[in-house]
Structure 1
Amino acid sequence: MNDITDQAQLTTLFQSYGVFGIVWYLVIAIALWRIFSKAGYPGILAIIPIVNVFVLVKVAGYSAWMTLLYLVPIANLIFSIFVAIRLGQRFGKGGAFSFFLLWLFSVIGYLILGFGGARYSPRR
């Protein structure tokens, strides 16, 4: 990185990833907006970066305080699987759907839940 053109090329690379990141976040926010609306929460909360995780945990049926488990290194992976499975149960989906499409490929799963025919059923 001795040349100024090398630095300019690196900046251009980061700008293209930035646009991709914004588009990715907008798709997730749109999907979560629909999920929150189906669950009876205001959809606008899907746009706010950290608040959307709190609301997603509440939609799954856990206390919002449980969101703090995302800060613990190994517990966050285990808890995210639990949230995905419980979210799938709330929308009437099975364990395989929840694990693969709500945990591994969450954007696809959120879009299916939000725009599909799945209905939210609160804790029984």
Structure 2
Amino acid sequence: MDSITDDASITNLAQDYSLPGLILYILIAIALWRVFSKAGYPGILAIIPIVNVFILVKVAGYSAWMTLLYLIPIVNIVFSIFVAVRLGQRFGKGGAFSFFLLWLFSVIGYFIIGFGSARYRSA
């Protein structure tokens, strides 16, 4: 008989969620590649896990140092909304689009911005 710790082991979690997680990461990297390219940054930076967040914050118009705000609980949620709204403004999108498609469903929003007709406008 299996014990409860065997069922909740980290290896079981990794086996269950590794393929969907990898697919989601690849989709985000493809979408961010186009977003970075439109903003004038090298698209290859979308593949590197932590660097892509730094570049996304820079594309939104903030200093890359502000990415450190993602390390503070509660502040990271608020800051990610600010980044999403500011990113939407840079690409000519409204607040509702930014909140729902760049924050809640970011994969869809990045694809719309990256492969759509939106153009990047720097401040």
TM-score (norm 2): 0.90
The 1:17/1:122 distance shift into structure 2, 3 A limit, reads same
Structure 1 runs, 4 residues or longer, greater than 3 Å off: 10-14
Q: How big is the shift at 1:74?
A: 1.2
Query: Please, which runs of 5 or more residues in structure 1 have no aligned partner?
Result: none
Partner of 1:104: 104
Partner of 2:19: 19
Partner of 1:79: 79
State how far apart, in whole Å, the 1-side matches of 2:69 and 2:19 are.
Answer: 30
The 3-state SS of whatever aligns with 1:117 is coil
The 3-state SS of whatever aligns with 1:110 is helix
Task: Tell me whether 1:38 sits opposite 2:38 in the alignment.
Answer: yes
State how far apart, in whole Å, the 2-side matches of 1:83 and 1:111 are.
Answer: 17
State how far apart, in whole Å, the 1-side matches of 2:63 and 2:12 are.
Answer: 42
Partner of 1:62: 62
Q: Encode CA deviations 1:3-44: one digit per residue, 9 max, x unaligned.
A: 8xx76xx95664242111101000000000000000000000
State how far apart, in whole Å, the 2-side matches of 1:12 and 1:54 are.
Answer: 32
State how far apart, in whole Å, the 2-side matches of 1:101 and 1:83 are.
Answer: 12
State how far apart, in whole Å, the 1-side matches of 2:58 and 2:29 are.
Answer: 16
Partner of 1:116: 116
Query: Please, which runs of 5 or more residues in structure 2 have no aligned partner?
Result: none
The 1:122/1:22 distance shift into structure 2, 3 A limit, reads same
The 1:67/1:13 distance shift into structure 2, 3 A limit, reads closer
Residue 84 of structure 2 aligns with an amino acid whose one-letter code is: A
Q: How big is the shift at 1:93?
A: 0.2
State how far apart, in whole Å, the 1-side matches of 2:63 and 2:122 are.
Answer: 14
How many residues end up aligned between the 2 structures? 119
The 3-state SS of whatever aligns with 1:49 is coil
Query: RMSD across aligned C-alpha pairs, in angstroms?
Result: 1.8
